Amino acid sequence: MANKANSVVTTQSVRVEQCVCTAAKTTYDDAANAVKLFTAGASGSLLKSVSAIPRATFTATQLMLFLSKDGGTTLILLPYNKVTGAQSVAATTAIPAYDLGVSGLRLSPNDEIYAAIGVALAGGIAFTAEGEDFAEADEEA
């Protein structure tokens, strides 16, 4: 929705979206093996946080976030990424959660955020994104 000249845009609804990455992404200039995590609303969104948690034992890997402004055709690597150490996931171990450092990333209408991992993992790594959609509210003069 286009904003009117006399309007205030505020966040209105909180959304949580998730995806699971299992395939290794070994390239940084295409959409291969990236999974869509979050789509901004019609008036844009504020991405508040992104975290990742493994679903199986894994070796060291890179956790990556990408931005697409064209429906997933072109992905742009974002500065929110992390390299993890190897971790055993079992009933007797704590499962680590990784914060990717996103806080207040303003997304334009219909922007998409994609997640990826650097090493294949059959059990996958689950990514969770929390964001707020903007909605137009008319200003009273």
What band does 20 get if pLDDT is binned at 50, 70 and 90?
very high
Q: Which among 59, 55, 67, 62 is positioned nearest to 105, based on CA atoms? A: 67
Mean pLDDT of all residues belonging to the chain: 90
All structural domains of the chain, each given as residue ranges with its CATH number in brackets, are 20-135 (2.60.120)
pLDDT tens figures, 35-45? 999 999 999 99
90 or 8, which is more confident? 90
> pTM for the whole thing?
0.88
Residue 121 above 60 pLDDT? Answer: yes
Write down the pLDDT at residue 12: 77
Q: Taking residues 76-100, report their average pLDDT.
A: 93
pLDDT at 106 over 70: yes
Residue 21 reports pLDDT greater than 80: yes
